[in-house]
Amino acid sequence: MPEFTHIDRGAARMVDITAKDEVARRARAAGRIHLRPETVRAIADGTVVKGNVLATARVAAILAVKETWRTIPMCHPIPIGSVRVDFEVQEDGIEATVEVATTGRTGVEMEALVGVSTALLTVWDMVKSAEKDEGGQYPVTRIDAIRVVEKVKGGTGAQA
């Protein structure tokens, strides 16, 4: 029977990373929210009723990155060196990209994924009244394509 690293016979444990060297690490994740074109225009024009959608989503992503270890049970709390959140406004949606960097003993891809997921969920929350149809449903709105775009460990390429 294999020895499991995190959950073994019902007993949870975090992987011991204390012997690992501290190394510069960086990860970039991206994802997309599909929206009605008129909602995208309102975001771009700054006329969404709740306020500045992308500024709010950017702050939410940064906060989520810093708290990833509280959300994902076996993630280590790690020092976050930097977080960069970018948005590409498209005709029928928003592409979000979150890049996280650290110098530490474990990678930051989960932090980048949590950041991009939270950014997109925040966009949805900020525009949900504009996205609902007459029945209160979301026929267009969806989040997809959340993925790690790049992961770098060590070397000068790990600096964000």
Is residue 160 pLDDT above 50, yes or no? no
| Contact assessment for residue 91 and residue 144, using Cβ atoms and an 8 Å cutoff | no
Domain that holds residue 104: 21-154
Domain membership of residue 112 (yes or no) is yes
In Å, what is the CA distance from 88 to each residue of 23, 40, 44, 74, 75? 31, 11, 10, 32, 29
Q: For 120-144, how does the pLDDT look when each residue is reduced to its tens digit (9 = 90+)?
A: 999 999 999 999 999 999 999 999 9
Domain membership of residue 3 (yes or no) is no
| β 11-12/7-8 pair status | antiparallel
Domain membership of residue 10 (yes or no) is no
Domain membership of residue 160 (yes or no) is no
CATH number of domain containing 27: 3.30.70.640
For the question of residue 125 being annotated catalytic, the response is yes
Domain membership of residue 64 (yes or no) is yes
Q: Cβ-count burial of 7 within 10 angstroms (0-12 exposed, 13-18 middle, 19+ buried)? A: exposed
The shares of helix, strand and coil residues in the chain, as percent rounded to the nearest 5, are 35, 30, 35
Catalytic annotation, pick one of 86, 125, 133, 144: 125
Domain membership of residue 14 (yes or no) is no
CA distance 156 to 34: 35
CA distance 83 to 114: 12
User: What is the domain count for the chain?
Assistant: 1
Q: For 43-87, how does the pLDDT look when each residue is reduced to its tens digit (9 = 90+)?
A: 999 999 999 999 999 999 999 999 999 999 989 999 999 999 999
| Contact assessment for residue 14 and residue 6, using Cβ atoms and an 8 Å cutoff | yes
Domain membership of residue 52 (yes or no) is yes
Domain membership of residue 16 (yes or no) is no
